[in-house]
A and B are shown apart, each in its own frame.
Chain A
Amino acid sequence: MSTPEHTASAPQPQSQSAAAAVRADNQDPSLFGQTPWQTVGPFFHFGLPWNGCADLTGPSQMGGRADLMPTGFAALRGPERRDAAAPVGERIQISGHVFDGRGRPVPDALLEIWQANASGCYRGSGFAGQGPASIDQGFFGFGRAATAEDGSFCFRTIRPGRVHFTSSGGALQAPHIALGVLGRGLLKRLMTRIYFDDEPSSAEDAILRLVPEHRRATLMAQRIDAAAGGAVPGSDPSAHYRFDVRLQGERETVFFDY
């Protein structure tokens, strides 16, 4: 039974400010500002990847981890793609592994890509491109891939066209794909880019030039030729590239702040 005496002798907060700090929440006007990043943790597979999220070229099951769903459970459903038009451009495949600082594969990472279509236009908000005619109805340009137990991932997409360096035009960038790396142990996304080692314009790309020369190779997807197990001429996809992500240490991937 609570008495007035008990109430009076109840422990008091150390100070008003300590009490306020404990009570503060996202509705506190003095706290207004960017919501902080937090890790996706190890259990994102039923919420983020959808069926086929790593295949930007057509319907398939690439990119998810159905093997991680308990019996009777399934990941969130993806979109209906029955009537989707085939995208314009050259189909390519980019595969690789994600490694940690000890060179071990990372089995619980999520990769996200964002890229222009074959004519160098982004489909979505924030792009003042060449108008509706530049939109490829069969290509969104966004994809995800959860890494497998061996740390591997694989995207199937379209070779991106060249995009201007600024929204008002000017110099062209080399073909590239924006890449975000999320995962357990990654408190915030690591941002990088995928370039192509057989693309001559990479040599004069303004962003790549900001990267110290000895580290540029970490951003280059390497074409695998047919003799080494890559695509044979005329096949689909018509080019295979390897791109590994090294989170830390030797040959560490260059990550950006933008």
Chain B
Amino acid sequence: MGTIQTVNAQLSNAGADFRREDGAQPPSLFAPYASTVERAPHEPLLRIPQTPTEQSGPNEWEALFGEQVTDLTCTRGAPAQGQRIIVCGQVLDEDRRPVANTLIEMWQANAAGRYAHERDQWDAPLDPNFSGAGRVLTDAQGRYRYTTVRPGAYPWGNHYNAWRPAHIHLSLMGPAFATRLVTQMYFPDDPLIEIDPIANAVPRAYRQRMVAHFDINITQPSYALGYRFDIVLRGRAATPLRAQT
């Protein structure tokens, strides 16, 4: 974005620290999710001050990543199989300020719970009309919207009879390298959330922050069910002491 307003907003924000993790963030080691046991660091994280490296981040999304893909149900000619859904919401910081012009990337299994990925060897069918990946930019109010199909639950090898709850993987950059977020959006009333080691790596009091809200006002007649999912990124720690010009 090359407007004067955008440049001024960037300058006035430059140098402000971002807040640290709050209690919602999972630990690196969570033994019920078995893959963490040999991949989580043993040493404690080393706390460092944020410098311009951590306080800045890319923002020319389409030039850097490529064009937006906001309807995952019709990228390949014929319509994808499954329950069509619309997901929309707002990306905010911790002070409820909208995060404008930020990139959300999403990827997911198809309606049968199968990923278009060679390493996914579950025998649920691939849908030739659903690849399951998209990307969307937030508008000036931080709002986003995309259309997809509801992903199926799928089995995994973590423990006996383990099934992941239905989820959409979401990746956000936010305004800086420090505000990066990768999360998973879950669906309301999914009984698998309660027994999922990945969702439960998040302390219970905060886990439902990852659960979308069914919304009849987003739902479109004879077209798609609607879900609202707001995403909250780390906010500014303090206003820097500098002249506002």
Contact = CB atoms under 8 A, between A and B. Distances in A.
B140 interface: no
A248 B38 contact: yes
A126 B38 contact: no
Contact of B56 (A33, A75, A126, A185): A126
User: In terms of DSSP, what is the predominant structure of the interface of chain A?
Assistant: loop
B46 A125 contact: no
B126 A70 contact: yes
Contact of A101 (B39, B126, B184): B39
Interface in A10-47: 21, 23-28, 31-47
Contacts of B242: 168
Contacts of B206: 31, 33, 36
A252 B230 contact: no
A142 B64 contact: yes
Nearest to B208: A24
Contacts of A255: 41, 43, 45-46
Given A47-B106, A122-B52, A257-B45, A140 B15 contact: no
A81 B24 CA distance: 39
Given A79-B65, A258-B54, A74 B131 contact: yes
A167 interface: yes
Interface in A29-77: 31-48, 50, 67-70, 72-77
B232 A190 contact: no
B209 to A, nearest CB: 5
A242 interface: no
Contacts of B48: 207, 210, 256-258
Nearest to A107: B119
Given A37-B181, A114-B177, A167 B52 contact: yes
Interface in B56-80: 56-60, 62-67, 69
B133 interface: yes
Interface stretch (A1-9, A85-93, A174-182, A228-236): A174-182
Given A76-B133, A76-B134, A34 B107 contact: no
Interface residues of A, number: 94
B155 interface: no
Nearest to B42: A248
B35 interface: yes
Contact of B183 (A38, A45, A101, A184): A38
A167 B56 CA distance: 10
A124 B49 CA distance: 20
Given A25-B188, A101-B42, A257-B45, A125 B232 contact: no
B118 A36 contact: no
Contacts of A224: none
A189 B28 CA distance: 9
A188 B28 contact: yes
Contact of A207 (B21, B51, B89, B169): B51
Q: Which 5 A-B pairs have the closest CB atoms?
A: A47-B107, A185-B35, A167-B15, A128-B14, A185-B39
17 contacts: A34-B94, A35-B183, A35-B231, A38-B183, A39-B35, A43-B119, A44-B107, A76-B133, A126-B175, A166-B52, A180-B180, A185-B40, A188-B182, A190-B41, A248-B39, A254-B43, A255-B45
